Amino acid sequence: MVNFMITILYGLSIGIALSVDAFMLSLIYGSTFKRKLESIITSFLVGFFHFIMPILGYILAFYFFKKINLFIYLDGKIKYIAFIILIILGLMMLLKKNSDETFNINSLINKSLFAFSVSIDSFLTGIAFNTINHINIVIAAFLFALVSCSLTYLALTIGKKGARTLLNANLDYYAGIIMIILAVISLFI
């Protein structure tokens, strides 16, 4: 029972901490959405990656990092993956056409890249959880997913309504610039 309570405490508190970047970027990303379905799909993808990534990190840490000490090599390099993905997303927003496009595979790829980029920290958390004996990684990952999905949906909805209410304009260009700026800032944090 104590292990379950520790897992719940860690899962919720770290889930909120891991979702801050998803929330902040979703405020911007949501301003470019035209339909509610985009917010639902993106939120689900963010939750999915926040579930999968810590489990993958936990498994990799268990099998590889303990045996060949790979963590020393990767330490400090993971943030560059998020940087590259955020730059790509920012450029895609800058180059996005002003048309009311239908949902297609390219938009699914964009949403998946977004979800992956805000979930990389969950991968590292899974690695760290491998060193804590009292954590059930599946329950913790489920809580990460639940919290991140909910907060992402909230932020996407706020971003969409804010763009429509305040400016009633297509904000893809500005969102792309802000995404690129945040990518650069993430290198120094």
Cβ count within 10 A of residue 91:
14
Q: Are 62 and 130 in contact (CB under 8 A)?
A: yes
pLDDT in tens, 77-121: 666 765 776 677 667 666 665 444 444 556 788 889 889 988 887
Q: Which pTM value belongs to this model? A: 0.71
Length of the chain: 189
pLDDT, residue 13, reads 86
Q: Are 50 and 148 in contact (CB under 8 A)?
A: yes
- Distance of alpha carbon 99 from alpha carbon 165, whole angstroms: 19
Q: Is the pLDDT of residue 62 over 50?
A: yes
Cβ count within 10 A of residue 38:
19
Residue 3: band (very low, low, confident or very high) from pLDDT cuts 50, 70, 90: confident
**What does the mean pLDDT of the chain come to?**
78
Mean pLDDT of 17-22: 81
- Distance of alpha carbon 145 from alpha carbon 137, whole angstroms: 12
- What is the SS3 assignment for the chain? CHHHHHHHHHHHHHHHHHHHHHHHHHHHHHHHCCCHHHHHHHHHHHHHHHHHHHHHHHHHHHHHHHHHCCHHHHCCCHHHHHHHHHHHHHHHHHHCCCCCCCCCHHHHHHHHHHHHHCCHHHHHHHHHHCCCCCCCHHHHHHHHHHHHHHHHHHHHHHHHHHHHHHHCCCCHHHHHHHHHHHHHHHCCC
